[in-house]
Amino acid sequence: ISPPPATEEAAAALAAELRPVVRGLARAYYTDGQSLVGDTQYDRLFGALRDLEAAHPALRTPDSPTHRVGGAPLDRFEKVRHPVPLLSLGNAFDADDLRAWYERVLKGLDGVLDEGERPALAAELKIDGLALALTYEDGVLVRAATRGNGRVGEDVTPNVRTVRALPLRLADTPPARVEVRGEAYMRRSTFEALNERLAEAGEKPLANPRNGAVGSLRQLDPTVTAGRGLDFWAYGVGPAEGDLPARHSAVLDAVASWGVPVSPERAVFDDVEAAVQFCQAWAGRRDSLDYEIDGVVVKVDRLDYQGVLGQVATAPRWAVAFKFPAREATTRLLDIEHNV
């Protein structure tokens, strides 16, 4: 915000104005899959509120949308408590933000790193869909839950069982119990074909593939989900009983060996500059994919280092989302026109 509010009263008034706006936009986005404004605009409003709260600690109300992850789980589904919360991610909007994040990582690992050691980074595409936690027991899918508010999600197991991209039974030798985390998404081509079908049937078209993925999964009738051709990319593992590799990138290799789709568009770098180049290259190539990405997620590869770094209120310190600039305004105008 510039200029920043001069008095406590002015800051309080601005926060009181921002809070319901951010809360309303977040509810539409997470609960209904609707983007009422562009992501950049949302990030700016959210950032303004967060900065105000940082500068004026008295404004940090416990119900502020800045303390929350995602949206409330819908009542029409059984609620599921996540044993380990599904968090949000901190953002980097340019190369310098990413370098600054890496500096904080180095500081956080002070005393742990060897002299001159630069911790390796894993970089993956940030898929624009919705997060799912899939629990496999003895290799069998027993539960699928949405992220919801991070602590409590919705049980969408019958719907996820219809997603062909996902194995109902894991291959190879998975741990006795493991929660695979990843993003359910809709391919652009699937989305376009679906909208044609909806138009022919005289139904309202979906606004964008993310909206298509959210809407297709949160159906009370799983046969509707089955016809929607959803896809999935795994990006991590939650709680597990059994042995797992010591590096995030190797964990993803293991998940792929169990038969769960893992995007091949990922890499490990031994320093931040190479990760910066990966992010910038993908910012210019995002349209070459058949699915939507809104950035690149960069993670400290060693899991023991991740443990040392820990998390802040709603996001891990060991990962950051490098966000791409928003798409042209026309897409957003269309979104608003379709009331999504």
Which residues belong to the active site?
A: 126
Residue 83 CB coordination number (10 Å): 11
**DSSP symbol at 186:** -
Binding site: which residues? 39-43, 88-89, 124, 147, 183, 299, 323
Nearer to ligand NAD among residue 11 and residue 319 (C-beta): 319
Choose among 91, 3, 28, 78: nearest CA to 326.
Answer: 91
Q: 291, 127 in Cβ contact below 8 A?
A: yes
Binding site for NAD(+): which residues? 39-43, 88-89, 124, 147, 183, 299, 323
Q: How far is the CB of 162 from ligand NAD (least distance, A)?
A: 20
Spatial strand order in the sheet of 177-185: 140-146, 130-137, 177-185, 231-241
Q: How far is the CB of 218 from ligand NAD (least distance, A)?
A: 15
Burial of 166 (0-12, 13-18, 19+ CB in 10 A): buried
Q: Is 293 in a helix, a strand, or coil? A: strand
End-to-end Cα distance, the chain: 27
Q: Where are the alpha helices (DSSP H) in 116-257?
A: 157-160, 188-200, 209-217, 222-226, 248-257
Residue 294 CB coordination number (10 Å): 17
Q: Which residues bind ligand NAD (CB under 6 A)?
A: 25-26, 29, 35-39, 42-43, 69-70, 86, 88-89, 91, 124, 126-127, 131, 147, 183, 235, 297, 321
